[in-house]
Amino acid sequence: MSLMTWTKEQFGTNVSAHDEEHREIFRLVNALGDAVGTGDRTTIGKQLDALIDYVAKHFAAEEANFAKYDYPAATTHKAEHDKLVATCLDLQNKFHAGEAEITGETAAFVVGWLNNHIPSIDKLYGPYLNAKGVV
């Protein structure tokens, strides 16, 4: 079941590396949703770990571009990343300790965050980075 579908119109930043990373995040979110549907904790755990690991790498890549090109909204943008990472790491730790489950509501939270963050926050860096020669 597809929870998210990447479209250039809705999610494109015009920074090809980050757009590719966003597509992979969508694929991983969909895989997590599929895993939740199976109810198999091992599969869910693997998909959760893969998603969180990839998102951390993606955030690091965005933030490296922000630093390299002196993006003026870098601090605010990074704060948004940090909040999500803290929430996800807490959930990941609780899941692996058997203190929490990953549910459809968890997937809906991630989908909602991405549906808000990419169009309203990430799209802002596209024109700035494009002007610096990043495409």
CATH fourth-level superfamily of 13-131:
Hemerythrin-like (1.20.120.50)
Given this model, what pLDDT does residue 36 score? 95
Given this model, what pLDDT does residue 1 score? 67
Residue type present at position 135: V
CA dist 109 and 116 (Å) reads: 11
CA dist 49 and 40 (Å) reads: 14
Given this model, what pLDDT does residue 43 score? 97
Write down the domain spans for the chain.
13-131
Given this model, what pLDDT does residue 71 score? 98
CA dist 135 and 132 (Å) reads: 9
Q: Which residues of the chain have pLDDT under 70?
A: 1
Burial annotation 87-116 (CB, 10 A radius, 16+ → b, else e): ebeebbeebeeeeeebeeebbeebbeebee
Given this model, what pLDDT does residue 60 score? 98
Given this model, what pLDDT does residue 85 score? 95
Given this model, what pLDDT does residue 118 score? 98
Condensed to tens digits (0 to 9), the pLDDT of residues 8-45 reads: 999 999 999 999 999 999 999 999 999 999 999 999 99
Given this model, what pLDDT does residue 41 score? 97
